[in-house]
Copies of this chain bind each other. A is one copy, B any other.
Amino acid sequence: MPGAVLPFAETDCGSCPIRYRAVCSDCSNEELAVLDAIKSYKTYKAGSTIVWAGDEMQFIGSVVVGVVSLSKTMEDGRRQMIGLLLPSDFVGRPHRSVAPYDVVAVSDVTLCRFRKVPFEKLLDETPSIRSRLLEMTLDELDAAREWMLLLGRKTAREKIASLLLVFARRENHLQLSRALGQVIFDLPLSREKMADYLGLTLETVSRQMSALVRERVIALHSRRRIIVPDFARLMNETGDDADGGLPA
User: How many angstroms between the C-alpha atoms of A144 and B137 in the bound complex?
Assistant: 12
* CB closest chain-B residue, reference A152: B199
Q: Mark A128-171, 1 if CB is under 8 A from B, else 0.
A: 00110111011011101111110111000000000000000000
Is A87 among interface residues, defined by CB-CB distance under 8 A?
A: no
From residue A164, how far is it (CB to closest CB) to chain B in Å?
18
Task: Kindly report how many copies of this chain are found in the complex they form together.
Answer: 2
Q: Which bracket fits the contact residues of A?
A: 35 or more
**Stretch of A27-35, A77-85, A182-190, A218-226 lying at the B interface:** A77-85
Tell whether, in the assembled complex, residue B148 and residue A74 are in contact, meaning their CB atoms are under 8 Å apart.
no
Q: Which of B100, B130, B199, B239 contacts A246 (CB 8 A)?
A: B100
Residues on B with C-beta less than 8 A from A75 are: 239, 241
Residues on B with C-beta less than 8 A from A133 are: 134
User: How many angstroms between the C-alpha atoms of A54 and B130 in the bound complex?
Assistant: 28
User: How many angstroms between the C-alpha atoms of A74 and B241 in the bound complex?
Assistant: 7
Is A93 among interface residues, defined by CB-CB distance under 8 A?
A: yes
From residue A69, how far is it (CB to closest CB) to chain B in Å?
12
Is A114 among interface residues, defined by CB-CB distance under 8 A?
A: no
From residue A23, how far is it (CB to closest CB) to chain B in Å?
12
User: How many angstroms between the C-alpha atoms of A74 and B152 in the bound complex?
Assistant: 12
Q: Which of B79, B96, B141, B241 contacts A137 (CB 8 A)?
A: B141
User: How many angstroms between the C-alpha atoms of A142 and B133 in the bound complex?
Assistant: 15
Q: A53-B247, A70-B145, A78-B153 are in contact. List 5 more A-B contacts (CB 8 A).
A: A74-B149, A75-B239, A94-B134, A137-B137, A151-B152
A selection of 12 A-B contacts at a CB cut-off of 8 Å is A80-B148, A80-B153, A82-B145, A82-B148, A96-B138, A98-B247, A101-B145, A124-B127, A130-B130, A130-B131, A141-B144, A151-B199
User: Which residues of A are at the interface with B, using a C-beta cutoff of 8 A?
Assistant: 53-54, 70, 72, 74-76, 78-80, 82-83, 93-96, 98, 100-101, 124, 127, 130-131, 133-135, 137-138, 140-142, 144-149, 151-153, 198-199, 239-241, 245-248
The 7 A-B residue pairs with the shortest CB-CB distance, nearest first, are: A152-B199, A151-B151, A82-B145, A144-B144, A80-B152, A151-B152, A78-B153
